[in-house]
Amino acid sequence: MLKVKNKKVVSEIARTTYRANKKRNFLTIFAIFLTTFLIAIVLALGVSYWNTVSERQIRIQGMDYDIELSEPRDDQVEKIRSMDNIEYAGVAVKCAIIEQYQDKSLDKTRLYWLDETCWERQTIPALEGYEGKYPQSESEIMFSQDTLKAMGIQKPKIGMKLPVTYFTLKEGSDEELLKKDFVLCGWYTDYSGNQRGYVSEDFWKTTGVMQTDFTQGSLKISLKNPLYSEKDITAMQNEINMDRNQYIDADTDTISNFCKIAVGLIVMLLMIFTSGYLFIYNTLYISVSKDIRYYGQLKTVGMTSVQLKRMVYQQAVWNAVAGIPFGLIVAFIIAKIVIPQLLQIINPVFSASDVVSAKIWVFLTAGCFAFFTNLISCKEPAKMVGECSPVEALRYTPGTCRKNNHKRESGGVYSMALQNMFRDKKQAIVIFASFTIAISIFLVVNVIIRENDAKRILNETYTYDMQFKNETTLDDDKKQVITGDHIFQIEQIKGVKNVRKVTSTEVVVPYQEDVYGEYYKGLYQSRYSPGNYEEDMELYQKEPENAYFTSRFISVDEEGVEVLNESIGNTLDKEAFEAGKIAVAVKFLNFMEGDYGISGKTIRFFLPDGKKPTEEYSIQIAAVVDNWCNPAFFAGGITPDMIVSEKYAKKLMGELFTELINVQYEDAFSKGTEKKVKAVFEDERQISYESKLKRYAEMKNSETKVKVLGNSIGFIIAMLAVLNYANMMVAGVQNRSKEFATLESIGMTTKQTKKMLRVEGIGYAVISIIISLIVGLPVSCAVFNAMNLYRISFSIPWASNLILFGVALVLCMIVPVLIYQKTQNASIIERLRNGEDQ
């Protein structure tokens, strides 16, 4: 067959058609622009958001590493550093603890020596910032700002002298207190909330602590591929010939956690991409179906299906060429200029440059996606054009519900609106799907933003706003520094909701194999084994009062019982607890699973500081909890601590020793209340405090970034959901131009038409919102759980969702009416004629 040279003609017709449909092309280009913009901006902001949240997570940890080897020997350090999958490994040794600065008691400020790798590669990246340099000489020291504040130093200066009382952690040193004047050589900010300082290698050597000493030294290991399995860890263990007490601290759920997060992200990306696809598809579908008659005419004059299809694709390419670069440029401007500027205005700490890491791949992905989506979206309309017969095409009316000819006798504005919504089922599905997906994305993004809200994280992880600890609790000459008077003063402060008192004292628990036997076995079999089981148990039976085996007898007040009960799933019989019939036991270590058959058994004990030191008491253990549920701070020996009611403790002890108080405010993070509460203990030197507000203040910078990025994503997605709908409505209203004219010719007033459009809009919004709630909420819950780093509970951000729903509803009502007003200005006759021409 001879090839007919008709490409030029087809191109020319395509060009003429394209030029003639400026308005409609604008809509298609706008759809492509929006999709490109959506993908580019969401990817750019999403990546930055992710980086910021991860960065904050590292800062909360205080150090950036994947796994940790305890008490490493030099040969092990060398061996590990030479391994293929190791990025770097740094040594950290805890060598001393500062007790006092001048005459002020500190909250166990630990001093570490870090080798160069650990400091430069693993610590600096986890700091928000630091001043000065790492200690070099024996007297130099570096503190966290948190520690300096606890010392009462608000404006630190390099070179300032810091007289402290400390003890070394050398084995057998018996915490002998030493005095030393350190010289401050630097300070840093992280979000760990730990009070710690860094010292030079020379100082560390003077302490006599070895890096192989139990619990003091550790090797922080950063892996090349942070996704590791238990098998990898076992392989590493086998290679380095570990001692009995050594262990590798690794999270074996890394891969499964990563998969969960990946699935969450993929679901979100799929939704965003689908939303973009539907947007372009729908616009093209409307556009081509509107042109069907015209294509039918072309067919009647001899244009083939192939030529028509080519024409559709050619026009699609032109639209893409116009829409994609524009979308990319706007996304770039917003990501690189608008949002950084906004951040700088909110918080001048940020340099306007590196806020959004808009990498080139983001734009390439967005551009390619929009281009191919555009071509794929053309497939169906092109098929429609190619397949329809000329006569059918000439008679084509968009969305005729042929089958729907039941004996219906409606016909009012409402029923017309309803019919219009579903006139073209396919298009209705596309509109609902795209609107629903957009709203669902908003729901999901909203939940993720909420999940990463610093206040929320802190609210979930802190049971108090401020905690005051008596630092003399474990001293031989302990002092009742937190008095009833103090508590009363705090309770009287406006803005304080409650003060929960936690008291503690030493308790001697005689060896009782039937109660704790299994627990001790479990403890000694674990990698945290405190020593030799047989020897220790023998010693225990002989000397139950040895500090190694004693534990703490903790009491909580009524408010405290509520908090404790909540942490164990509200299973406590509060009456029995208050009456002193039952107690809760606290495991020595967090990782120990199960209750070792302790629950329900009765334990015997003595209280050496109680009213009757020699009398044996007994109480039933109702539950066994992890250490993180322990309301007290100071630990006893390896025997589980006991938590009882204050009433019961008072009965046995007489006067109770207050270890700490937890203060809760009416309004969390209230600066005014905090200031007044802090003032109560202003002159008290042996009390340390911890505050949620202080942690929040440390996280403030990254919080601003997280919020601005997160809210920008949310806002852009919400805006796009609405624009997407508006664009569809523009096409829809234009498509129905002739119908509106007909209705007007037979007596439908503008008011009635607007009412019909409004009802349609409400219908679209309400149905989409309902579907989004049905689909979006479970998805958002799933994504939330997949990405839940801080184990906070799921809750729906109703306020922002309701605002979106409200805005969507109002816009859905207003937009079609506005479009109608703007586009249907010509006389009825003109509109009827235009309708016929199409």
Partner 1 sequence: MNILTTQNLKKQYDMGEIQVKALDGINLFVREGEFLAIVGTSGSGKSTLLHMLGGLDVPTSGKVVVDGKDISKMTKDELTIFRRRKIGFVFQNYNLLPLMNVYENIVLPIKLDGIRPDRDYVEQIITLLGLKEKKYAMPDQLSGGQQQRVALARALATKPAIILADEPTGNLDSRTSQDVLGLMKTTGQRFGQTIVMITHNDEIAQMAGRIIRLEDGKICGGENRYAESEE
Among 97, 568, 743, 818, binds partner 1 (CB under 8 A): 743
406 binds partner 1 (CB under 8 A): yes
User: Given 3-state DSSP classes, what are the helix, strand and coil percentages for the chain, each rounded to the nearest 5?
Assistant: 55, 15, 30
CB 823 → partner 1: shortest distance, Å?
15
Asked if 402 is part of the footprint of partner 1 (rule: CB under 8 A), the reply reads yes
CB of 300 to partner 1, least distance (A): 18
Q: Which is nearer to partner 1, 397 or 483 (CB)?
A: 397
Q: Does 419 bind partner 1 (CB under 8 A)?
A: yes
> Alpha-carbon distance 370 to 281, whole Å?
11
Angle at 699 between CA 693 and CA 705, to 5 degrees: 130
Interacting residues with partner 1 between 526 and 545 (CB under 8 A): none
Q: Is 747 in the site for partner 1 (CB under 8 A)?
A: yes
Interface positions, 421-440, toward partner 1 (CB under 8 A): 423
Residues 577 and 615: beta-carbon distance below 8 Å: no
Pairing of strands 551-556, 641-645: parallel
DSSP secondary-structure letter at 338? Answer: I
244 binds partner 1 per the rule CB under 8 A: no
Candidate residues 5, 161, 408, 494; the one interacting with partner 1 per rule CB under 8 A: 408
Assess contact for 46 and 716: CB atoms under 8 A: no
The answer to the question of residue 739 lying near partner 1 (CB under 8 A) is yes
415 vs 459 by CB, closer to partner 1: 415
302 is a site residue for partner 1 (CB under 8 A): no
| 3-class SS letters over 789-815 | CCCCCCCCCHHHHHHHHHHHHHHHHHH
Closer of 20 and 826 to partner 1 (Cβ): 826
For tokens 């990498």, what's the residue? 359
- Judged by beta carbon, residue 3 or residue 751, the one nearer partner 1 is 751
Query: Which parts of 100-159 interact with partner 1 (CB under 8 A)?
Result: none
Residue 836 binds partner 1 (CB under 8 A): yes
Nearer residue to partner 1 within complex by CB, 156 or 399 = 399
Segment interacting with partner 1 (CB under 8 A) among 94-102, 221-229, 691-699, 748-756: 748-756
The single residue among 91, 744, 768, 772 that binds partner 1, judged by CB under 8 A, is 744
Return the closest-CA partner of residue 111 out of 56, 178, 191, 64.
Answer: 178
Residue keyed to tokens 């199960």: 594
Contact 358, 336 (CB under 8 A): yes
Rule CB under 8 A: is residue 405 a binding residue for partner 1? Answer: yes
Among 124, 635, 748, 775, binds partner 1 (CB under 8 A): 748
Give the count of alpha carbons within 13 A of 227, CB side only: 8
Nearer to partner 1, 416 or 642 (CB): 416
| Contact in structure between 704 and 128 (CB atoms under 8 Å) | no
Nearest approach in angstroms of CB 453 to partner 1 is 48
Stretch binding partner 1 (CB under 8 A), from 32-40, 123-131, 404-412, 480-488: 404-412
Q: Which is nearer to partner 1, 420 or 780 (CB)?
A: 420
Query: In this complex, which beta carbon is closest to partner 1, that of residue 746 or of residue 799?
Result: 746
Segment contacting partner 1 by CB under 8 A, of 414-422, 477-485, 564-572, 622-630: 414-422
Q: What is the CA radius of gyration of the chain?
A: 35
- CA angle at 38 for the pair 35 and 43, rounded to the nearest 5°: 130
Classify strands 161-168 and 104-114 as parallel, antiparallel or unpaired: unpaired
- Cβ closest to partner 1, residue 749 vs residue 795: 749
Binding partner 1 (rule: CB under 8 A), the pick from 410, 570, 614, 793 is: 410
Identity of the residue numbered 347:
N
Find the helix packing angle between 692-735 and 454-461, rounded to 10°.
Answer: 130
Nearest to 442 by CA among 37, 775, 801: 801
Footprint of partner 1 on residues 776-835 (CB under 8 A)? 827-829, 832
CB atoms < 10 A from the CB of 613, how many? 10
Please tell me whether residue 112 adopts helix, strand or coil conformation.
strand
Options 25-33, 47-55, 215-223, 419-427: segment touching partner 1 (CB under 8 A): 419-427
Residue 502 backbone phi and psi in degrees, to 5:
-120, 120
- Kindly tell me which of 378 and 741 has the beta carbon lying closer to partner 1: 741
- Cα separation of 148 and 156, whole Å? 7
Are 187 and 131 within 8 A, CB to CB? yes
What are the φ and ψ backbone dihedral angles of 86, each rounded to 5 degrees?
-100, 125
Closest distance of CB 299 from partner 1, Å: 20
Task: State which of residues 404, 546, 590, 795 lies at the interface with partner 1 (CB under 8 A).
Answer: 404
Tell the smallest beta-carbon distance from residue 761 to partner 1 (Å).
18
Q: How far is the CB of 742 from partner 1 (least distance, A)?
A: 4
With CB under 8 A as the contact rule, the residue among 2, 177, 301, 746 that binds partner 1 is 746
Closest separation between CB of residue 744 and partner 1, Å?
Answer: 6
> Is 749 an interacting residue with respect to partner 1 (CB under 8 A)?
yes
Q: At what angle do helices 7-20 and 22-61 cross, to 10 degrees?
A: 80
Distant-in-sequence, close-in-space partners of 695: CB < 8 Å, separation ≥ 6: 191, 193, 458, 462
Nearest to 195 by CA among 155, 146, 153: 146
Which residue's entry shows tokens 């929009």?
370
Nearer to partner 1, 41 or 733 (CB): 733
Stretch that binds partner 1, among 48-56, 301-309, 359-367, 739-747 (CB under 8 A): 739-747
Binding residue for partner 1, selected from 137, 300, 341, 400, defined by CB under 8 A = 400
Does position 492 bind partner 1 by CB under 8 A?
no
Among 136, 546, 750, 795, binds partner 1 (CB under 8 A): 750
Site for partner 1 in 370-399 (CB under 8 A): 395, 397, 399
Residue 296's alpha-carbon distances to 643, 732, 833, in angstroms, are 84, 21, 18
Instruction: Return the H-helix or E-strand segment holding 560.
Output: helix 558-567
**Sequence letter at residue 650:** K
Strand partners, 153: none
CA 392 to chain centroid, in Å, comes to 55
For residue 825, the minimal CB distance to partner 1 (Å) is 11
Question: Per-residue x/- marks for partner 1, 612-651, CB under 8 A?
Answer: ----------------------------------------
Compute the distance between CA of residue 418 and CA of residue 401 in angstroms, rounded to an integer.
13
Residue 46, classed as helix, strand or coil, is: helix
Q: Give the nearer residue to partner 1 in terms of CB position, either 20 or 266.
A: 20
Residue 471 vs residues 246, 423, 482, 544: alpha-carbon distances, Å:
31, 75, 10, 26
In whole angstroms, the minimum distance from the beta carbon of 388 to partner 1 comes to: 15
Copy the structure tokens of residue 706: 């997280």
Q: How far is the CB of 815 from partner 1 (least distance, A)?
A: 22
In the complex with partner 1, which residue's Cβ is closer, 389 or 397?
A: 397
Residue closer to partner 1 (CB basis): 814 or 828: 828
Nearer to partner 1, 331 or 416 (CB): 416
> How many other CB atoms sit within 10 Å of the CB of residue 394?
16
**Residue number, 159 or 747, with CB nearest to partner 1:** 747
Residue 736 burial class via C-beta count within 10 angstroms: exposed 0-12, middle 13-18, buried 19 and up: buried
Among 420, 427, 434, 550, binds partner 1 (CB under 8 A): 420
Number of residues that bind partner 1 (CB under 8 A): 38
Name the site residues for partner 1 (rule: CB under 8 A).
395, 397, 399-402, 404-413, 416, 419-420, 423, 738-739, 742-752, 827-829, 832, 836
